[in-house]
Structure 1
Amino acid sequence: MDIRDLDRRAGAVLGEVVMQVRPEQLWFPTPCPDWTVRGLLRHLVSQNVGLAAAALNGSASSQTWNSGRLGDNPAGAYRRSNARVADAFADGGALDRLVEVREFGSFPRRIALTFHQLDCIVHAWDLARAIDIPYDPPRDMVEMALTLARRIPDTVANRGPGYAFERSVKVSGGAPELDQLLGLLGRNPEWVSPLD
């Protein structure tokens, strides 16, 4: 399996959700407590811009990692930023080259893409839940993300406020894999918007 293909597909799954966001929903709350829909979209675009720059140059400044702009077309901004990621990783022979991913450290480019794929699948759920649309990602993408999520330590030293992930939330062992993934990354699969 080529992680680049899986990542492109995950980016497209997220893109399908992004395309359904209506302007009046931009200020809706999301399961990410610090972000509205607009804030989450800006985060997604910023992450794509930063990851693409880091993939091409080995690292990127904090300013680059936070430089995503939505303008008056958030879906278009996301689509362009996602294409930048695909283009930056197109050179297949360089997947073992190190890339610095924000404050998380340096990883082989294939691992950075695996984290990106996980981010796409989980943030697509965040957006879908916020704007109240169905979300059923492909099983292989959930399985890959779940495998990675199980390897992320759940300790106060690397989870919680200020970190990429919250502490895990208990989910039944018999729950669907997507719910297990969400719980591992600190999301309540039963989250309901306070606007409902």
Structure 2
Amino acid sequence: MRMNLMALKAFNDRAVRESIAVVRRVTLEDLTRPTPCSAWNLGELLAHMTAQHRGFAAAARADGGNLTHWKAEAPGPEAVGQYLAAAEAVLAAFVEVGTEEQEFALPEFGADAVFPAIRAIGFHFLDYVVHAWDVARALDLPFVLDPDILDAALLIAMAVPNGAHRTKPGAAFAPSLPEPADSDALSRILMHLGRSLSWGASLRSRGSADMGSA
């Protein structure tokens, strides 16, 4: 099944708004928490997410090749507010995209990388399903998305190729993990993209042990 542009933009809007709801729960003290993105703490993850929104918004307005839009700022006290503003900005920019073929320059894929809107917005949609989960998991909060959002994201996720390129520094996703036969859509998305569903359990166990020995 192939989504049309209007449907994809609607799914993306809902996923980003779910991320907004989760990020609103982040406090200044939370910014040093570890995340499922092992290279980043929560503040650094939010800085990355903010920069991605800004970059995709620029790409939707034919300025994605300007690398300044994609540069993540050092996280600080304004991290949450910056994220919320960038999220609203990218959603507004996507509203203006009128055709599936409109070109998006996405330099993170290569210096001259250009994708049609239908693919570029699909990348963004999938990223924010996963990153919303990352933030929720870092905060030890439950994370639930509507089934139709997950079904749409799963179609895109399963088209992401696995392979040795996922082990390289800076790879967007880690190698896929084995999926139990009874996995739900969210679990399938996360495991195909290399996220461990048990992430955080060891941290909580270690924290409990530390408290018990104090």
Query: TM-score w.r.t. structure 2 length?
Result: 0.84
How many residues align? The count is 196
**Gap runs ≥5 in structure 1:** none
Aligned to 2:127: 119
Paired residues for 1:123-142 under 5 Å? 123-142=131-150
Out of 56, 61, 69, the residue aligned to residue 56 of structure 1 is 61
In structure 2, how many angstroms separate the alpha carbons of the residues matched to 1:85 and 1:39? Answer: 19
Distance 1:54-1:47 versus aligned 2 partners, 3 A rule: same
Distance 1:120-1:8 versus aligned 2 partners, 3 A rule: same
Distance 1:128-1:60 versus aligned 2 partners, 3 A rule: same
Aligned to 1:169: 177
Out of 81, 91, 101, the residue aligned to residue 106 of structure 2 is 101
Aligned to 1:8: 13
Aligned to 1:148: 156
For residue 143 of structure 2, what is the amino acid of its counterpart? Y
In structure 2, how many angstroms separate the alpha carbons of the residues matched to 1:85 and 1:48? Answer: 6
Aligned to 1:17: 22
Contact 1:47 1:68 in 2 (8 A): no
Q: CA deviation at 1:76?
A: 1.8
For residue 35 of structure 2, what is the amino acid of its counterpart? T
Q: CA deviation at 1:2?
A: 2.2
In structure 2, how many angstroms separate the alpha carbons of the residues matched to 1:69 and 1:46? Answer: 11
In structure 2, how many angstroms separate the alpha carbons of the residues matched to 1:121 and 1:73? Answer: 23
In structure 1, how many angstroms separate the alpha carbons of the residues matched to 2:37 and 2:201? Answer: 11
Residue deviations 1:40-69, cap 9 Å, x none? 000000000111111101533333211456
Matched residue of 1:99: which SS? Answer: strand
Percent identity over paired residues: 34
Q: CA deviation at 1:92?
A: 4.3
**Gap runs ≥5 in structure 2:** 1-5, 205-214
Aligned to 1:31: 36
